[in-house]
Amino acid sequence: MKRAFPVSACAAALLMTALSGCGSSSKSSTGAAATTAPSSATASAVVTTQGAVADASSSPSAQATVATHNAGGKLGTILVDGKGRTLYLFMADKTDMSTCTGACAAAWPPLLSKGQPKAGSGTKSNLLGTSKRSDGTTQVTYNKHPLYYFSGDSKPGQTNGQDLNQFGALWYVVNPAGKQVET
């Protein structure tokens, strides 16, 4: 009988090796870095270096919800998904089309939706939209910014990805007007 080898452990080691030379940070993050990522649109979790599993994105078989949460301090009210997980924008995205793929999308999973996303509490439905990713999945946009999670946020309310410089540009949380929140 063949013994199953834990693929996630191999993928984690491979991704950490690949990411070790990618990007830099303008600040130190207390969150964990991604060690694996969804390899397809059906994957739903990212394993972090601390062993925590964070949902990588809204299942592409479900309609995503974008709401708001008061993060307090300098961040104020920011966008979150329907489960309270922080959403970010990538300053390298100059249009509603994502430029974050491959290793970038492993560390910064896109918020995906089946069909038009729902406007939750505190958001403006006229700012919600979608765009097609290069893999054919549908990514949620807000004020024409593609939205992402940060794999270093292991639970709702965390903002470990705020003001990080990775994959060639800065990452910021988003306010209800659809603008980046700079701290």
Question: How far is the CA of 116 from the CAs of 60, 120, 121, 180, in angstroms?
Answer: 11, 13, 16, 22
Candidate from 19-28, 79-88, 128-137, 166-175 with smallest mean pLDDT = 19-28
Q: What is the pLDDT of residues 62-115, one digit of tens each?
A: 999 999 999 999 999 999 999 999 999 999 999 999 999 999 999 999 999 998
CA distance 53 to 153: 10
pLDDT the model gives residue 31: 36
For residue 6 the two structure tokens come to 């834990």
Strands 65-70, 118-119: pairing kind: parallel
Whether pTM > 0.75 for this model: the answer is no
pLDDT, residue 60, reads 64
